[in-house]
Amino acid sequence: MTRSTRFPRLVPLAATGLTAVALSLSLAACSSSDSGSADPASTESSQSVTIESSADAAQAPDGAAVPEGFTLVEVPEYGISVAVPSDWETLTSANASDTELVARVAKARDMSEDEVIADLEDRPLLSIDTAAEGDFAPYLVLSRIDDDGPLPSEDKMQSLAELNAAETSELEQTTSGSGADASLFTMNASDDGVQYNFSAVSVSEGDDAYITTVVVSDSAQQAQEVSEAVLASL
């Protein structure tokens, strides 16, 4: 059984820059609260693929899987590993001393190198398509939210949708690849006539904490595929 909440179309708010939109999707930055839900992401078609780790070898928990085309990357701060697209570049505390990698990631994110490194303190994994053409590079960030319940609340996610002038948004409850309670929030918003797709994959870590991975892409299909891979791997 899956419970899905579809929020009504929202009246666009004053323009927000895409960087602000994306960063506000990190739930730690959202100052609202309340009732959680999320969605059933498909975890079919999975096979073992390249494992990339900050230590020796990242491992998915029992029952979790890494879909083809994705790589498992360790997040040392949280003792977990998560699937990211194999053709994206991924920055964690383990490789943050690689100045060339940091420079490529910063350029793709349109941030300074110092900002990228500082952001790892709150979001210790950033994976981005540094080879993307055009003005926008799809990416994902991962963080742990403490003292906010087992999953993000419905009120919090609706507030997030309103903050970002979402045109559509939906929240569903599901489970992760390892069987943990999880939720998937999706929304889209436009900027200068271009549609951007956002998802927040949240996996419970007990009664009062959860891991959230935010995916941002200009392709709805890509955002869905990456979100489902993340969910399957946790």
What b/e readout covers 44-58, taking b as 16+ CB neighbours within 10 angstroms?
Answer: eebeebebbbbeeeb
Closest CA to 134 of 79, 194, 89: 194
pLDDT above 70 as % of the chain: 73
Secondary structure (DSSP) of 67-85: BTTEEEEEETTTTEEEEEE
Cα 118 to Cα 85: distance, rounded to the nearest angstrom: 23
Poorest-pLDDT segment among 57-71, 166-180, 189-203, 215-229: 57-71
**How do beta strands 4-7 and 194-204 pair?**
unpaired
State the Cα torsion 23-25-27-32 to the nearest 10°: 110
Whether 97 shows a pLDDT value over 50: the answer reads yes
Q: Of the ranges 41-45, 101-105, 134-138, which is most confident?
A: 101-105
Q: Top-level CATH class of 4-233?
A: mainly beta
Cα dist from 51 to 70, 71, 132, 206, whole Å: 9, 5, 23, 27
Whether 227 shows a pLDDT value over 80: the answer reads yes
CB count, 10 Å around CB of 113? 13
Confidence of residue 221 (pLDDT cuts 50, 70, 90): very high
Mean pLDDT of 169-173: 92
Whole-prediction pTM: 0.77
Helix (H, G, I), strand (E, B) or coil at 161: helix
Domain-wise residue ranges, the chain = 4-233
Interval 64-81: pLDDT, tens:
789 999 999 999 999 999
The radius of gyration computed from the CA coordinates of the chain, to the nearest angstrom, equals 16
